[in-house]
Amino acid sequence: MQRFSLRFYFIFFFLSLISFNSLLANEIKATRLWPAPDYTRITIESSSKINNDQMMLQNPERIVIDLKGIAVNQVLKNLSSKVKPNDPNILDIRVGQFTPKVSRIVIDLKNSARVKIFSLPPVEPYQDRLVIDVYPVEKDSLTNLLNKLENKEVKKKESIAKKKDSVVKDKPKKKKKVVVAIDAGHGGEDPGAIGKNGTKEKKIVLQITKRLKKLINSDPLMEAYLIRDSDYYIPLNKRVSKARKVKADIFISIHADAFRKRNVSGSSVFALSESGATSAFAKFIANKENEADLIGGVSIDDKDPLLAKTLLDLSQSATINDSLKLANFVLKEIKKVNNLHKKWPEQAGFAVLKAPDIPSILVEVAFLSNPKEEKQLKTAKFQKKLAKAIYLGTKKYIKSGVTITSTNDPDN
């Protein structure tokens, strides 16, 4: 009887051990932190989906996240060391084993914040991910309120003075600059195309956009605005929203191609299509670029109802026509710098080109999957040539007599 009891005890202990280990079988594989002006993103990659609880605490401001069925390993511990002093939202991150079956992450905040936590299913090159987005909560301080009142009073006085001047004489209206929104594709969690030698698209296109910005800002006719200016991800619909927020006249999204055949090469320029793609290649590129949100990481409830509504606007057709004009001018200039993959602008349903009132193009500067072009894209010389070609094409489009229809004029 004693032998049976002892055997039963060992079997029970063994089964309990298996059960406990299965609960903790989910392992943290990687952690990443992406500070950005609009929000800070924390990504926790694991072998399977993480169940979690969270709470916001005050005095001091902090976010507490419990990861269920997770044991603290060195990878998770290393998350603390990734916080940067210039992070606009996060002061510190602490990681510990709260209970045998729960790991706890405490995010110490610099200011009040709101948090959005969501899971992403596996997608190449990542496994399951838990995404934590920390957004700052703007507090309307007394100083800000006084500044707003002061600015309102100043504008009121300026308006009165302007009316007086108009009675005496008609002042010549100051010609506004054309605002060009430049979008560096991918970023943060989403590396974009990766060359044979490890060159990442997100890095190359950011370098080109910064060179393009410098050229545009040196032109008295134009003013540049970067959609992203560092290594972080922005959802595709938010890129469009940011361009509309700054009342951009032109939107240019810059990318670098990748294809399964390494001998494929050349530059391409795309515009939006209201119907189908103009070729199988255009459809392939559009599908690839539209999948960026799956890799970059977007919550399922991140939708833009305003954008969905305005896509039906009748101005879309006119905007696409202007986009094709812009694409032609840019393509002609790029032809002087690199071989063209297609000799004419292509069209497809690119999500990032769907601003209904802004002429928008997507430039695939070259193929990172092509060893020769990958090598070229890494050089400052080739990047400058590409940036100059896009700049010159844009300038010729502006000077061609097209009507700039956006409302970025302060007098409007």
Q: Residue 210, SS3?
A: helix
What string of H, E and C letters represents the secondary structure of 210-276? HHHHHHHHCCCCEEEEECCCCCCCCCHHHHHHHHHHCCCCEEEEEEEECCCCCCCCCEEEEEECCCC
Q: Where are the domains of the chain?
A: 24-136, 178-398
Q: Classify domain 178-398 by CATH architecture.
A: 3-Layer(aba) Sandwich (3.40)
pTM for the model stands at 0.80
Contact of 90 with 44, CB cutoff 8 Å: no
What pLDDT tens digit does each residue of the chain (412 aa) get?
A: 455 455 555 454 444 444 444 445 799 999 999 999 889 999 999 999 999 999 999 999 999 999 999 999 999 999 999 999 999 999 999 999 999 999 999 999 999 999 999 999 999 889 999 999 999 986 544 444 445 545 555 555 566 555 555 544 555 556 689 999 999 999 999 999 999 999 999 999 999 999 999 999 999 999 999 999 999 999 998 999 999 999 999 999 999 988 888 889 999 999 998 777 888 888 888 888 888 888 888 876 665 554 444 444 445 678 899 999 999 999 999 999 999 998 999 998 998 998 888 999 999 999 999 999 999 999 999 999 999 999 999 999 999 988 775 544 434 4
**pLDDT score recorded for residue 142:** 40
24-136 and 178-398 share one fold: no
**pLDDT score recorded for residue 156:** 56
Q: Classify domain 24-136 by CATH architecture.
A: Sandwich (2.60)
**pLDDT score recorded for residue 150:** 55
Rounded to an integer, what distance in angstroms lies between the CA atom of residue 317 and that of residue 314? 7
Rounded to an integer, what distance in angstroms lies between the CA atom of residue 201 and that of residue 192? 5
**pLDDT score recorded for residue 260:** 84
**Type of residue numbered 164:** K
145 contact partners, CB below 8 Å, separation of at least 6: none
Enter the tokens of residue 49.
């989906």
Other CB atoms within a 10 A radius of the CB of residue 209 amount to 25
